[in-house]
Structure 1
Amino acid sequence: MTSTTINWISISGRLLGSLFYYAPDEEKVRSVLDYFQQNNWQAEWLGLKNPEKITALLNNTAHLSVQYQTMFIGPNALPAPPWGSVYLDKESVIFGDSLLKLRDFLRHHQIEFVRLQDEPEDHIGLMLMLAAYLAESRPELLIEFLRDHFLIWSSRYLALLSAQQDAPFYQGLALLTQETLDYWQTCLAIEIPKVQFYR
């Protein structure tokens, strides 16, 4: 596990996580959105395979608050729910068994979440930011977390999100995140266990 990899997981996890977790009109998101409007961000982004397509989608920020509302808040059913247990639990519910396993992992390693709302810890944005935190502070736990609690479901969620043509910015974010997670997985030589998805 090189320092370059650790540093990149920290940076990319925080940037991507904030875009999934926080509403686009929040102050902390504006600087991240500005980053992706720069002409040369693609040159700095490790593991990028489809920069033109992703950039075109990320540049589609018209009605971004509406896109966010549709993908993450409701009131209608979310086309791609952002919580891991929806995909891993037989009942397709939030607060499912996989979340309890994640909580056991966090408790065992004395990691506490500070959340702004009563959000299940397996939200895609929180998981990306947790990966960043582990890279910075507890790198010895990073592979276990990614292998057992995050990468086992993230690809299913991101595939569903990348199919949402009514939310082009989040389509692009999903594609960028999948390419980034693929890069993490390759760098860390993680073999992801096969699981059944229930959604």
Structure 2
Amino acid sequence: MNEMSAICRLLGSFFYLSINAEQNQIAIGQLRQHYHDINEEFSQFVLSIDSDDPQALDCDFFKLFEGAAVMDAPPWGSVYLDQESILFGYSTVRYQHFMHKYHLALNLDMNEPRDQFGLMLLAASELFERKDSDIAVKELFGEHILPWCFRYLELVELHADTNSYKALARLACACCAYIKEDLDINIESVPLYR
């Protein structure tokens, strides 16, 4: 499961911090050395970074993940899962209970919803590192990530201006689909409001 932990950690970081963030640049440097050895989606993502202007990447990150007044692809689960499409909604509270149940802590500088896609993948990375975490991983993906992530990633790809963020959305979609299949996860059936 360490490979899945590393993948979730990478993707979580790319969805939580700009591609231009120092820690992401270090990871990209390492991926560049090995991208021929990894799957097609990872290769496309690594190659696309070189085609995008760094300033355009920062603008796209702000537009997609931090937002202004209206966001075309909000990165929080509650926007998709709660009828009111609000932050800190019922689904966020459910997810916070899940985090408490499995002793998952995030050290964040500000009070922000924990159901941000990148943060959730970072939590998944931590769970994949733990022994005997199969039940927790299946619960995390089946109840808290997979019910909404495919719609979210579709919107990221649709509204991204850079090739890098389009490729990142496709990569994350492929990884989530792989996790679902590999771990035989049943997705909780819930209506989506976005």
TM-score, reference length from structure 1: 0.86
Separation in structure 1 between the aligned mates of residue 144 and residue 49 of structure 2, nearest angstrom: 27
Question: Which residue of structure 2 aligns with residue 135 of structure 1?
Answer: 128
Deviation, 1:53, is 5.2
Letter in 1 for 2:81: L
1:124/1:132 Cα in 2 relative to 1: closer, same or farther (>3 Å)? same
How far apart are residue 42 of structure 1 and its match? Answer: 4.7
Q: Distance in 1 between matches of 2:124 and 2:189?
A: 21
Gaps of 5+ in 1: 1-5
Q: What is the CA–CA distance in structure 2 between the aligned matches of 1:54 and 1:110, rounded to whole Å? A: 33
- Supply the AA of the counterpart residue of 1:101: R
Indicate conservation of the 8 Å contact 2:35/2:43, yes or no: no
Please tell me whether the aligned partners of residues 70 and 76 of structure 1 are also in contact (alpha carbons under 8 angstroms).
Answer: no
Name the SS for the 1:68 alignment partner.
helix
Larger CA deviation: 87-96 vs 104-113: 104-113
Identify the match of residue 43 of structure 1 among 19, 27, 37: 37
**Paired position in structure 1 for 2:75:** 82
Quote the sequence identity (%).
32
User: 2:120 is aligned with what amino acid?
Assistant: M
Query: For residue 71 of structure 1, what is the amino acid of its counterpart?
Result: L
Tell me the secondary structure at the aligned position of residue 85 of structure 2. coil
Runs of 4+ in 1 over 4 A off after TM superposition: 50-56
Q: Where does the alignment leave 5 or more consecutive residues of structure 2 unmatched?
A: none
Matched residue SS, 1:163? helix
Q: Are residues 1:145 and 2:136 paired? A: no
Residues matched between the structures, number? 190
| 1:3 matched residue in structure 2 | none
| Corresponding residue of 1:61 | 52
Partners of 1:51 and 1:19 lie apart in 2 by 12
